[in-house]
Chain A
């Protein structure tokens, strides 16, 4: 059957003298043959867009964070904290179409250096960050990845998925050479999200992570000198802060 541009029909059945869509009739009596059609309604065009980014604990977008190493002794450093000290991986899903989109499934993968933290770490809200109404979603996750199932995203609606995470090396100790290598070569961190259903969409966010070394060792002058010499040899910058701490940093920004 020819398809009309404005409206389409699909054959459903044939009744009367035949039940097939097409064939031959051998005439053995009077009767009727009726083709039964229904209006064909094409499925609504589904379109979702996704964006993702990393934020601090107050949902301010960040493009980098600082790992702060504190000197424990001559040969050992502890990654004492990060700046900022709290992180969220945020995924923003928008339904720009005129109809609701149901059965939305997405998966996310944090950078291997980050872990999901908190008792209720993956949440969905109608507002940026964790504002507006909380949206019920089926969430599953492990150390640093997971999936989120959302029953429906309304027409024109944007939902905000927030994943509470932290830098997994916090509190760990490192040798001096490890720290120097870290300062010089540590790669950026990348976070990924894939919308699996009903349409595919992918987004990722990358943050750089410059290091900062704080020396609180009693012999800081000597240590700072030693570190300074080494870091200077590596082409790194050093500066002396007014609080009496020796800080040597390299920012890859």
Chain B
């Protein structure tokens, strides 16, 4: 407990030392070890230990009477020691301060459909909202998802491959076994643009005549199992990130996001920028204020025209909500160009 307090005090002082415009600092760190035992009627008796650490820091800056905020976070499935030592906590603090100061100069985002380039890492929340939820087994068994009955159909451009992988070491969304004891692994959701798979728990897999994929998850013993994502990301392509940005004649380059949401049935999804830039003729013009991007899950990836060679997974901040249950998840993306997405700015 004292170690965590010392870490937060260190970050508070550090954030304020970075820039005199930093007026408020909010930092919190949480760490847990969850002991899991799963006993099944088929005689399986399984055990797992799941560490989870998360640090979050947000700051309020003020300059010439104008206030703004920025935040950053990170973590994963490892012990607290790693966050207490090393540079990661300081790096996240610098990131929060940088974002807040950047936002002070942000102009209103444009409004309307336009090309969008997404940066690598956390912008993979696009996949989580646009694709991942719609491919969860329960919605497809019930026929309530916009993706229902579409296996084998083209839902993305050539070159787009999206996977869900719960077996990656130390990632926030990773699990050795899911909450029904099924080992996690890599499930290919979209392969070269073609829809290939759903995310399954045991019940929905059985009812659909498919195999469980290690995606049966529950918030705690007090919640029922649902098919859920683990770490959802797009595999890297071949384009250089620079070339992708240079290709943008007029549009938005979005590097960081807050949360998102999806209407499973109509397929419409949103996610909101927290760091984005107006780009003209391949050059960054100015940072823009947070804007919600809205699109259509089953068609958005058909408009992907360039895929970067720089796949990154997010820093370990994602929490996914479904039916009132929260579980930690990860996402990832290479730099990506989408030829058209509606940007919900206030500058009509």
Q: Do A and B bind each other?
A: no
Give chain A's interface residues, CB within 8 Å of chain B.
none
Using CB atoms and an 8 Å cutoff, list the residues of chain B in contact with chain A: none
